[in-house]
Amino acid sequence: MIARSFRLSKATDFAKTYKFGKSFNSPDLYIKALKSHVPSTRLAVVVPKKVSKKAVDRNRDRRRVYEICRIKWTSIEPGYTIIITAKKSLESQSDTELTKLVIGGLKNLKVFKQ
């Protein structure tokens, strides 16, 4: 899990990122990224109830995406606020497929180094 200092939590930050951020859209994920005034990158993963009614399943999907971001944290550009929203259940995706999806979205938004 990513440290609390790197997680996005304020409603104003969410609203600003949704309103002014660049977006990447795929059938499974929706990613918004916005250059911010904070020197470190902050991240939030959202899995709405529409994806799954069970909190256990939603939390598992959220933890999987957070873990991918934690492993690749040094390759993510500093100074961004990023919101990753699941559009459907990620349980059917293997870890490598999900990693490719998340990293591909971040590269598309030019937030990922390499």
pLDDT of amino acid 79:
93
37 pLDDT band, cuts 50/70/90, is confident
CATH number of the domain that 34 lies in?
3.30.230.10
The count of structural domains within the chain is: 1
pLDDT of amino acid 32:
97
| Sign of torsion over alpha carbons 61, 94, 5, 23 | negative
The whole model's pTM is what? 0.94
pLDDT of amino acid 33:
96
In a domain, residue 79? The reply is: yes
In a domain, residue 102? The reply is: yes
pLDDT of amino acid 114:
74
In a domain, residue 72? The reply is: yes
Judged against a pLDDT cut of 80, whether residue 20 lies above it is answered with yes
pLDDT of amino acid 63:
95
Structural domain span for residue 31: 4-108
In a domain, residue 74? The reply is: yes
Residue whose pair of structure tokens reads 């990620």 in the numeric block: 90
Pairing of strands 80-86, 42-46: parallel
